[in-house]
């Protein structure tokens, strides 16, 4: 199993601050499974408006972190290395628990399908806040 720190993550996926939402990869089996983490920093600008006095990480950030985990899962393969991952779809999204400033989320993703001819990949990602499942999402990416 491979492990990556934030600098190594940035060598694989194109996102950068303020939208880079993966801090580390704890386990990676390229093309099969990934476990990644993200610390929800209390100083993120989004918390100024979502929601004042009761900050919660917006669901779109949770979905984006799942897409970035999926990107890492596939861009770590030689056939996709250096390519651009583009959102094609999100399915079966469920938000189960709040994610607040100061939380560290863990994203556990696994391959659902891959069409190598069209370079379309799909994964299922479970997002955990501590030991509790916070969200579920199926992510589809076109790798160009």
Give the active site residue among 50, 83, 97, 133: 50
Helix residue ranges per DSSP H, the chain:
6-12, 59-75
Cα–Cα dist 142/20, whole Å: 19
Cα–Cα dist 36/69, whole Å: 7
Nearest to 23 by CA among 46, 43, 4: 4
- Specify the DSSP class assigned to residue 78: T
Nearest to 70 by CA among 114, 116, 11, 39: 114
**Catalytic residue check, 50:** yes
Cα–Cα dist 62/136, whole Å: 9
Residue 17, burial from CB neighbour count under 10 angstroms (0-12, 13-18, 19+): exposed
| Active-site amino acid positions | 50
């Amino acid at each position: 199993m491979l492990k990556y720190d934030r600098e190594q993550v940035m060598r694989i996926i194109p996102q950068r601050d303020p939208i880079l939402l993966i801090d580390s990869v704890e386990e990676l089996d390229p093309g099969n499974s990934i476990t990644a983490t993200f610390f929800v920093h209390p100083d993120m600008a989004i918390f100024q408006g979502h929601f004042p006095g009761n900050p919660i990480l917006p669901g779109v950030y949770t979905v984006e972190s799942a897409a970035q985990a999926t990107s890492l899962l596939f861009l770590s393969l030689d056939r996709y290395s250096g390519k651009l991952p583009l959102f094609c779809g999100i399915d079966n999204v469920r938000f189960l628990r709040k994610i607040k400033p100061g939380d560290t989320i863990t994203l556990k993703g696994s391959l659902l399908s891959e069409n190598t001819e069209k370079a379309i990949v799909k994964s299922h990602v479970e997002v955990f806040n501590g030991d509790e499942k916070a969200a579920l999402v199926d992510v589809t990416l076109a790798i160009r």
